[in-house]
Structure 1
Amino acid sequence: MALPKKLKHQNLFLDGESFAGQSGTVTLPTLARKMEAWRGGGMDGPVKVDMGHSDDGLQIEWTLGGWGLSVLRQFGAVRADGVMLRWAGSIQRDDTAEISAVEVVVRGRHEEIDFGDAESGEDTEHSITTTCTYYKLTIDGNEEIEIDLLNFIFKVNGVDMLAEHRAAIGL
């Protein structure tokens, strides 16, 4: 029997600027595929056909404990990959004390900045939603998943899932 690896500590970086002590919650992007049911002649039931990444796209939601000027100054970034966020997590198993480094790097632009409630003498927290065109998940130095929507790249555990498709269409 083993205990699960649990997040113990985290930090968030915005274009290399550390938000240690300032970042609150981080909701990492949901990885989803668009699947469409297909039931052809001679089939007793439908099979879901993989049509690529979900139409919902990739987004990361995160909070700051107060005002973050660097975030505000990036609002309205023109480039679809103009902002880079890096989330670093330290996960640990309590039965073995083994620690693993988890890193998620995304590039995109801020879709929404919610300033929350403003009340004198009360806590302020700002919520940011960043829509992403690039995503990379690395665990203990191994690149597990890389998605680059602008450059037609999708890798899982080092395997380029779109290499043959790129070749087929001359890319």
Structure 2
Amino acid sequence: MAKKLPAYVIKDVSLFAPGAPGSRIGQCSEITIPVLEKTMESFRNAGMIKPIEIAMGYETTECSFTETSFDPDMLKLFGIGAASSMVAYGYMADEDGTEHSCRFQMVGDVKKIDAGSWASGTKGEHSYDMTVHSGTLFIDDQEIIRFTPHRFWVGGVEQFPGRANALRL
């Protein structure tokens, strides 16, 4: 019988942001990639003894990240209409030693900057919230999920495939 060991364990992260030199290694302490959630509606039509939920689309996506620096280049991403491309990188490893990479490429607008509490002798952390208009999740360079405001793919398969044609998208 094959051993079942933990796999794809995220062990380290980094963030790349435009206008900031290189990656945010040493600056970004935490990243929350977009939460993907379906919009569900409850239906109970004639002859149904109980309602069922039907997927109608997807909810708004956001990401957040925390930095230990108050970098002016990052603060400039707060500008109106300043859609930004960001990439969250992750290093993963299985318990058997197999290594993996993941990245979440996203485009959106920084909508909130929280400078946190400033106190002598403590690490200052600053958090950023961003609405994400489009994004793509890759694991080992394989596209897993991709979305735009108009379309959504999972494992390379478009969800609601007839919709784009019907709406001439």
Give TM-score, length-normalised by structure 2: 0.91
Within-5 A mapping of 1:53-64? 53-54=58-59, 57-64=60-67
Superposed displacement of residue 120, structure 1: 2.4
Report the Cα distance in structure 2 between the residues aligned to 1:3 and 1:85, rounded to whole angstroms: 32
Superposed displacement of residue 49, structure 1: 0.9
Amino acid at match of 2:132: C
Summarize the alignment of residues 83-162 of structure 1 with structure 2, pairs less than 5 Å apart. Answer: 83-94=84-95, 96-149=96-149, 152-162=150-160
> Once the 2 structures are TM-superposed, how far is the Cα of residue 126 of structure 1 from its aligned partner?
0.3
Calculate percent identity across the aligned residue pairs: 27
User: Displaced runs of 4+ in structure 1, greater than 4 A?
Assistant: none
Secondary structure of 1:90's partner?
A: strand
| Partner deviation per Cα, 1:53-108 (whole Å, 9 max, x = no partner) | 12xx11111000121211211112315xx1111011111111x2111111101110
SS at match of 1:164: helix
SS at match of 1:18: coil
RMSD: 1.4
How far apart are residue 167 of structure 1 and its match? 0.8
Unaligned 5+ runs, structure 2: none
User: 1:17-32 residue pairs with structure 2 within 5 A?
Assistant: 17-32=22-37
Look up the match of 2:10: 7
Range that drifts further, 98-107 or 15-24: 15-24
Q: Do residues 169 (structure 1) and 156 (structure 2) align?
A: no
Tell me the amino acid that sits aligned with residue 2 of structure 1: K
Q: Secondary structure at the match of 1:73?
A: helix
Please give the alpha-carbon distance, in whole angstroms, between the structure 2 residues aligned to 1:147 and 1:170.
Answer: 17
The counterpart of 1:35, out of the listed 30, 36, 40, is 40
* Residue 138 of structure 1: how far off its partner (Å): 0.5
Shift of residue 121, structure 1, vs aligned partner: 2.7
CA positional deviation for 1:164: 1.6
TM-score (norm 1): 0.90
Aligned residues: 164
Say whether the 8 Å CA contact 2:13–2:30 is kept in structure 1.
no
> Aligned partners of 2:16, 2:94: CA distance in 1, in Å?
25
